[in-house]
Amino acid sequence: MKTFCGRANPTTGAMEWLEEDENYDYHQEIARSRYADMLHDKDRNVKYYEGIRAAVRRVKERGEKAIVLDIGTGTGLLSMMAASAGADFCYAVEVFKPMANAAVKIVEKNGFCDKIKVINKHSTAVTVGPDGDMQCRANILVTELFDTELIGEGALPTYEHAHKYLVQEGCEAVPHRATVYVQLVESRRMWSWNKLFPVHVEAEDGEKIIVSPSEMENCPGVPSVCDIQLNQMSSSDFTVLSDVVTMFSVDFSKPVRSASTSYRVQLEPVESGKAQIVLSWWDIDMDPSGVINCTMAPYWVKSTSAFQWRDHWMQCVYFLPNEEPVLKGEKVYLTACRDEYSLWYKLQKARGKEENKADVCVESPVCRCQAHLLWNRPRFGELNDQNRTCQYIKSLMKVLKTDSVCLCISDGSLLPVLAHYLGAKRFFKANHLEDKIKIIETRPELLTSFHLEDKKISVLVGEPFFTTSLLPWHNLYFWYARTAVTSHLASNVTVLPQSAALHMMIVEFQDLWRIRSLCGTCEGFDVQTLDDMIKNSMNFRESREAEPHPLWEYPCKSLSDPQEVLRFDFRETVPEHSLSTEGSINLLRKGKSHGAVLWMEYHLVADVSVSTGLMQISNEKGNCEWNPHCKQAVYFFSSVIESEALSDLHSAVTYAINFNTKTGEIAMDFKL
Ligand code: SAH
């Protein structure tokens, strides 16, 4: 079997479909999976174990045999917990074949072969009966099918089916219940991920303000959830407008309905302000009494939550379709609508007669302005970053002349509009200023002098930003595009940015290291088989790869100074030969070297730069502040390096980095 995998090609700026052999998908899935993160989630594991023990005890106390159905067994962990807790038999269902195979090995290694049957099927394909996958219906239902939004991984239809066909009436369920909480807030920072704010341009003939068109103003956006590490959001970034309220609960021990529905709560604002955002998270009660509770509540709701780090469950940010002014004490209704897999919210004033609940169920929002399809949430945030915009304005003012002919190469960029307001005469490619700005729908290598009305380009600009970029250096597509349009450039062309520099720093992560560290044992069960699988998958490609992470969500401290490792001169064309560098980077602080972080800095003009990574190192401890709109590249060191304690402060990490100009990819190797 062959698999096609999408991959951004930095030399063409396009998504490409590469044919990979069947192991590729599998290895990507294992190496980048959240299984390890789940097994490191001590709080989750302990509570599942307690909940499972209590459920087995309740069934036994009724004099029944304990027959467990574990849907989505993964490594088999929850089934092994049940077997250890005295369950008579467990059916462990797992749809993902490599994991089902791993579960078989892990169950065997831990000596539970006679108690646990692994079934490699989707739960809805499982049969019950003398010749079926299960001999009889189960009386204990154990699952962990939740994502940050609770229902996004299909928990509801899976439960609905299981209650109809796979478990007995009155079964025990672990977890017993899930509850979704909401809090209404005003937040300029989070709202900036959803709406384009007015852009202020200080031009020579006074200040100009670029506003977004009304269809964008009124657009309800896209329904996909925005999941973030809310614990990294400072309390100064939002104003709480309501108390935390329960939006809805699901009792997993009773039949579950997955059909679309809505829930409505009344809120009494505790502050006046602009209702923009619904923050949401859930908790699960492992037992009916709710004593064993596992919560995703953020730090201002539960102060210890910061210590229970996890990446497989975070918190949700929902954008209301429009901002609504609310007054302290004046009640409003918040409605949550859901289909089988997702949720969205709507706010209504509570004046007059109470509305019929059926009336308030709204259709899932659909973006009408296109911007929400073109720009993702971080990109909105980036475009709304007035400081960043100022750097571009400052630079454009230095290079633009009244007779400049500009070409902008970037996706969904505001640079042409800025340049127009700053007085450039001719500008190609941008939005509604049709007579002043011409959008050329062609690939750079197909650009002709006809497109440019026989003019030579005197200023070539880019942020650069391309929607297909995943890693920082993928935006080097700008360099390839610049090379492709060389024949159209005037001899004295100005290229902005004039160059880019790849920077690197060695860091110790507060928590992110967990997602790539070995598990060994989990709650006393040997899960090394999973470790071996992950190691094997990481080494599947000869060179290990860097992976993108938005580091503002993942605190780390710097162990070295930031260092420039490669420079890309956009004033020249892309060279034929690859660009390589070798060197070493000194470790200045004590700590565990978990990996290297890499990011780009763009030198717009001689003395103006923007960083897509490190903004500053904030104190002597080395705490870092990262660009909040960009993902940085993280290269996790292999386990050998990671496990070494750094006692000698004068150690160094040596590196070899190679930018292959043919593929646009960067390969790297490190030694401690
Ligand atoms: N139970 C494990 C793993 C949870 S991850 C633990 O708690 O550590 C969820 C797993 O459920 C994934 O491996 C996924 O492939 C599987 N899964 C999700 N829905 C499923 C379904 N309806 N039937 C079978 N497996 C499912």
pLDDT in tens, 392-423: 999 999 999 888 899 999 988 889 888 888 87
The yes-or-no answer on residue 553 being catalytic is no
Phi-psi category of residue 128: left, alpha or beta, with phi > 0 → left and psi -120 to 50 → alpha: beta
Whether ligand 1 lies within 6 angstroms of the CB of 38 is answered as yes
Whether ligand 1 lies within 6 angstroms of the CB of 71 is answered as yes
Whether ligand 1 lies within 6 angstroms of the CB of 160 is answered as no
Whether ligand 1 lies within 6 angstroms of the CB of 72 is answered as yes
pLDDT-based confidence at residue 354 (cuts at 50, 70, 90): low
pLDDT higher than 70, residue 185: yes
pLDDT higher than 70, residue 19: no
Could you read off the pLDDT of 20-38 as tens digits, one per residue? 665 666 666 676 677 888 9
Query: What is residue 431's predicted lDDT score, i.e. its pLDDT?
Result: 37
Query: What is residue 70's predicted lDDT score, i.e. its pLDDT?
Result: 98
More confident of the two residues 254 and 518: 254
Expressed in angstroms and rounded, the spacing between residue 22 Cα and the centre of ligand 1 is: 21
For the chain, give the longest Cα–Cα distance.
Answer: 90
The yes-or-no answer on residue 576 being catalytic is no
Query: What is residue 638's predicted lDDT score, i.e. its pLDDT?
Result: 78
Q: How far is CA 660 from CA 94, 445, 664, in A?
A: 41, 20, 6
Distance CA(55)–CA(87), nearest Å, equals 10
Amino acid at 584: S
* Marked catalytic residue, from 144, 172, 382, 463: 144
Expressed in angstroms and rounded, the spacing between residue 73 Cα and the centre of ligand 1 is: 5
Q: Which of 48, 52, 96 to mutate to test the pocket of ligand 1 (most atoms within 8 A of CB)?
A: 96
DSSP assignment of 117-171: EEE-S-GGG--BSTTSSBSS-EEEEEE----TTSSTTSHHHHHHHHHHHTEEEEE
Consecutive H or E run containing 105: helix 97-109
Whether ligand 1 lies within 6 angstroms of the CB of 74 is answered as yes
For residue 263, give the nearest of 352, 150, 159, 344 by alpha carbon. Answer: 344
* Marked catalytic residue, from 20, 29, 64, 153: 153
More confident of the two residues 424 and 238: 238
Strands (E), 306-465: 315-326, 332-338, 343-349, 405-408, 426-428, 437-438, 457-461
Domains of the chain by start residue, with CATH: 2-32 (no CATH), 34-176 (3.40.50.150), 178-366 (2.70.160.11), 385-492 (3.40.50.150), 499-510+555-671 (2.70.160.11)
Q: Phi then psi for 459, rounded to 5 degrees?
A: -135, 120
Q: Calculate helix-pair angle for 42-61, 77-84, nearest 10 degrees.
A: 40
Q: Which of 95, 107, 116, 529 to mutate to test the pocket of ligand 1 (most atoms within 8 A of CB)?
A: 95
pLDDT higher than 60, residue 646: no
Strand partners, 655: 583, 670
Whether ligand 1 lies within 6 angstroms of the CB of 522 is answered as no
Helix locations, 257-370, DSSP H: none
pLDDT higher than 50, residue 432: no
Query: What is residue 304's predicted lDDT score, i.e. its pLDDT?
Result: 82
Query: What is residue 640's predicted lDDT score, i.e. its pLDDT?
Result: 47
- What number of other Cβ atoms are within 10 A of residue 125's Cβ? 12
611 contacts: CB under 8 Å, gap ≥ 6: 503, 599, 600, 601, 627
Token reading at 70:
């574990």
Q: Are 468 and 11 in contact (CB under 8 A)?
A: no
pLDDT-based confidence at residue 206 (cuts at 50, 70, 90): confident
Expressed in angstroms and rounded, the spacing between residue 143 Cα and the centre of ligand 1 is: 7
Q: Closest Cα to atom 1, ligand 1: which residue?
A: 73
Whether ligand 1 lies within 6 angstroms of the CB of 93 is answered as yes
pLDDT higher than 80, residue 291: yes
Query: What is residue 355's predicted lDDT score, i.e. its pLDDT?
Result: 54
Expressed in angstroms and rounded, the spacing between residue 102 Cα and the centre of ligand 1 is: 13
Mean of the per-residue pLDDT values of the chain = 90
Token reading at 358:
């059926």
Query: What is residue 226's predicted lDDT score, i.e. its pLDDT?
Result: 95
Could you read off the pLDDT of 149-165 as tens digits, one per residue? 999 999 999 999 999 99
Could you read off the pLDDT of 104-154 as tens digits, one per residue? 999 999 999 999 999 999 999 999 999 999 999 999 999 999 999 999 999
Whether ligand 1 lies within 6 angstroms of the CB of 596 is answered as no
Query: What is residue 651's predicted lDDT score, i.e. its pLDDT?
Result: 81
pLDDT higher than 80, residue 360: no
